[in-house]
């Protein structure tokens, strides 16, 4: 994370896709580097940010700064 920008980078090494015809054969494999950037709010506590990868799913936790959480005020 830099300032208010979260950048995720990675590489793919996908499985080959094969197509067999009567007179043709084609095998493609898509792979390479990728990058995604997302703006995050200024009220995020970047020191407490965490990320976890499980079963191919990336989970990113960006907790709010304590003072920026909403407060409920009862109305009489």
Query: pLDDT of 10-24, one tens digit each?
Result: 887 767 788 888 888
> What's this model's pTM, rounded to 2 decimal places?
0.58
Which is more confident, 47 or 68? 47
Question: Mind listing the pLDDT tens digit for each residue in 29-61?
Answer: 777 888 999 998 888 888 888 999 998 889 999
Contact 59, 31 (CB under 8 A): no
Q: Which residue has the tokens 């995604």?
A: 36
Q: How is the chain split into domains, by residue range?
A: 5-67
Q: Is the pLDDT of residue 63 over 80?
A: yes
C-alpha to C-alpha distance for 45 and 61, rounded to whole angstroms: 10
């Amino acid at each position: 994370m830099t300032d208010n920008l979260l950048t995720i980078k990675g590489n793919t090494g996908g499985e080959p896709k094969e197509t067999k015809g009567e007179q043709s054969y084609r095998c493609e494999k898509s792979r390479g580097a990728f990058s995604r950037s997302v703006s995050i709010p200024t009220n995020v506590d970047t020191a407490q940010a965490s990320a976890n990868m499980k079963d191919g799913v990336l989970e990113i936790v960006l907790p709010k700064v304590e003072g920026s959480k909403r407060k409920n005020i009862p109305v009489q």
